Amino acid sequence: MAIQITNEQLKKLDDQAFELYISELIEHCQLCYPNLVDYITTTKLRAILANEVKKIKQQEINQRASVRFQIDLMIIFGTGFKTDPQYAWINQWLEQNAHYSQLEQADFLFEDCVDYLKAVYGENNINKYLADSKLDCFDLNHYVLTKENFDSDILIILQNIYPKKAELAGDNALQNLITQAKHTASLEFSATYIDQYAYFIIASYLYGHQFYDDPFLPNITAIKNSDDTDFDYANHNLNTQQHYANVIEHWSSLKSL
C-alpha cells in the first residue's frame, strides 16, 4: 500500500530542511567570518540568516550555493551591496550576465570578487593593515572641512583613510556615495552639523551605504533626532560624533575576514 504524505507533513519536512540549511550557514560563518560570530550570538545569527535567506529567495535565487554566496556578499560588502555606488561594478556585472544560471553567476562573480579583495587588501593584507592603523587614531578634527567645499574635502578624507579602496571605486563612484549619504543623513537622520554628515559618509564608505540598517552589524545603530521641541541639538551633536567615532574605531574588528 502506498504511503500517503499529507501537506502538513510536507511542510514539516520543508521546515526541517530549511533549519538544517541555516545551521550549515552558521557553520560557514563560523569558519569564514569568526569575528562575526564573536559579536553576534548563535541564536541571533540564526534569526538574521533565516530572515535574509527568505528575502534572497524572494528574488528568485534559490540554489543553495547561490544563496550562500549572496550571504557572503552581504557580509563582505554590506547588506545593500547591489545598490551601493562604491560597488556599482557588482550590479553592473549581474545585469550584463543575467543570462547565466544562478550557479554560473555565483562562480564567475566569485572570481571577480576574489580579485577585488586581493587588490583592495593588498599583498599580505598590507592595504587593510594600513587602513586599520589610520582608523585606530582617526580624528576628524585633524582635517579641514568647509561647507563650501565639503564634497571635495570629504573625498580627500576617504582617499586618505583607505587609498586602494578609493582607487578601485573611482572618484565618480565615491562622489555618488557622498551625494547619496548626505541625502540619507539629512532625510532619515536629521543631520544638521557638518561633522555629522562627515561621520555618516565615512561609515557608509567603510561598512556599506546601508550600514545603519545592516542585520550583520547589530551593534551599529545610528542615532535619530528627537521630535521634542526642547531637543538639545548641541548635546545631540556631541553624542552623534562620539557614536560614529566609535563606529569608525571598531571597523577593523568588525570587518576583518
With b for 16 or more beta-carbon neighbours within 10 A and e for fewer, the 151-165 pattern comes to eebbbebbbebbebb
Residue recorded with cell 534559490: 62
DSSP state at residue 9: H
In which residue ranges of the chain is pLDDT below 70?
1-13, 221-257
Give the H or E element holding residue 14: helix 7-32
* Cβ contacts of 37-42, under 8 Å, gap ≥ 24: 39/218, 39/219, 39/254, 40/216, 40/218
Contact 117, 161 (CB under 8 A): no
pLDDT at 150: 96
pLDDT at 190: 83
Query: Which residues, including other chains, have CB under 8 Å from residue 138's CB and lie 6 or more apart?
Result: 161, 245, 248, 249
pLDDT at 234: 47
pLDDT at 139: 86
Which of 159, 135, 132 has its CA nearest to residue 248?
A: 135
pLDDT digits (tens, 9 = 90+) for 196-239: 899 999 999 999 999 989 999 877 754 444 444 443 444 545 55
Which of 161, 101, 92 has its CA nearest to residue 131?
A: 161
pLDDT at 191: 85
